[in-house]
């Protein structure tokens, strides 16, 4: 049995002031201090405006810090962008890449995401690479092919269990309150692991954590987190409420 330590990751998206970040992180740090910090890993991914601020709060506590995106280049003339080495310099350990909101809002292609992932590796950030089908693709029975294509296109060579986490986020489940059914989630997660095994080898595939994201809430987390190929969650809305985010983390199977 491979030990994949569950990762409970909060994607704050474009939400949060410094005062709100203070309140949320303070509550999470208090809760983490009362728990066996080894049962799961907890990560917050604030907007980039708050990364430096949150970095000072989390310091060397068990709460980890991630960003929501990075540019593919190390530095240069890219107004408004932030590079992976800059995030690492702030104290980020992780970066979310290829979220469907970025694929849609910013036209990010698999090629862009692959380049960003390589850049994250160079900066020693762990890349959380997001995959997921639209509702139309699911209705047309294309889900598994879409996911295989995103794996082929978005992941560079050289991925390991140490530098990459996959997040399966069906686009139709994000922010809708309509999470995928457990059997749909397990089917796609097992498929992702098979695709990883054929390209990167069985050991790599067995070690890589695959998160589910899309309306994960305290009410459905226990069922989703108990699925054999679900190794944690990427949580949007519920990660902004400390009690809800904590309740999800506490749903990780003992
Ligand atoms: P949600 O978002 O939990 O609000 O559905 C998940 C995500 O987009 O990462």
Mutate to test the pocket of ligand 1, among 169, 177, 247 (most ligand atoms within 8 A of CB): 169
Angle, in degrees to the nearest 10, between helices 182-200 and 143-154? 40
Rounded Cα distance between 173 and 42, Å, is: 22
Q: Looking at the predicted structure, is the pLDDT value of residue 1 above 60? A: no
Q: Indicate the pTM of the whole model.
A: 0.98
Give the confidence band of 34 by pLDDT, cuts at 50, 70, 90: confident
What's the rounded mean pLDDT across residues 177-195?
98
> What percentage of the chain reaches a pLDDT higher than 70?
98
Q: Looking at the predicted structure, is the pLDDT value of residue 119 above 60? A: yes
Q: Looking at the predicted structure, is the pLDDT value of residue 208 above 80? A: yes
Atom 7 of ligand 1, residue of closest alpha carbon: 236
What's the rounded mean pLDDT across residues 3-29?
97
Q: Looking at the predicted structure, is the pLDDT value of residue 70 above 60? A: yes
What's the rounded mean pLDDT across residues 127-143?
98
Between the CA of 144 and the centroid of ligand 1 the distance, in Å, is 21
Helix (H, G, I), strand (E, B) or coil at 212: strand
Q: Looking at the predicted structure, is the pLDDT value of residue 37 above 70? A: no
Per-residue HEC secondary structure of 16-82 comes to CCHHHHHHHHHHHHHHHHCCCCCCCEEEEECCHHHHHHHHHHHCCCCEEEEECCCECCCCCCCCCCC
Between the CA of 99 and the centroid of ligand 1 the distance, in Å, is 10
Q: Looking at the predicted structure, is the pLDDT value of residue 36 above 90? A: no
pLDDT of residue 213: 98
Between the CA of 76 and the centroid of ligand 1 the distance, in Å, is 32
187 is an active site residue: no
78 is an active site residue: no
pLDDT of residue 38: 78
The half-sphere exposure of 104 on its side-chain side, counting CA atoms within 13 A, is: 11
216 close to ligand 1 (CB < 6 Angstrom): yes
């Amino acid at each position: 049995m491979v030990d994949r330590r569950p990762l409970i990751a909060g994607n704050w998206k474009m939400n949060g002031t410094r005062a709100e970040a203070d309140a949320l992180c303070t509550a999470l740090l208090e809760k983490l201090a009362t728990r066996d910090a080894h049962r799961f890993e907890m990560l917050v991914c604030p907007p980039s405006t708050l990364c430096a601020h949150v970095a000072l709060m989390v310091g060397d506590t068990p709460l980890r810090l991630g960003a929501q995106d990075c540019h593919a280049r190390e530095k240069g003339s890219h107004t408004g962008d932030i590079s992976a080495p800059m995030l690492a310099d702030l104290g980020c350990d992780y970066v979310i890449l290829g979220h469907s909101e970025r694929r849609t809002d910013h036209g990010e292609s698999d090629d862009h995401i692959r380049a960003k992932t390589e850049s994250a590796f160079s900066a020693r950030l762990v890349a959380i690479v997001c995959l997921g089908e639209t509702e139309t693709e699911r209705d047309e029975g294309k889900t598994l092919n879409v996911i295989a294509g995103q794996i082929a296109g978005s992941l560079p060579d050289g991925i390991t269990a140490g530098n990459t986490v996959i997040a399966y986020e069906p686009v139709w489940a994000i922010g809708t309150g309509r999470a995928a059914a457990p059997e749909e989630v397990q089917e796609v997660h097992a498929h992702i692991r098979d695709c990883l095994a054929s390209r990167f080898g069985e050991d790599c595939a067995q070690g890589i954590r695959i998160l589910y994201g899309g309306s994960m809430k305290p009410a459905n987390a226990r069922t989703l987190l108990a699925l054999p190929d679900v190794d944690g969650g990427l949580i949007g809305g519920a990660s902004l409420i400390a009690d809800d985010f904590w309740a999800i983390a506490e749903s990780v199977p003992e």
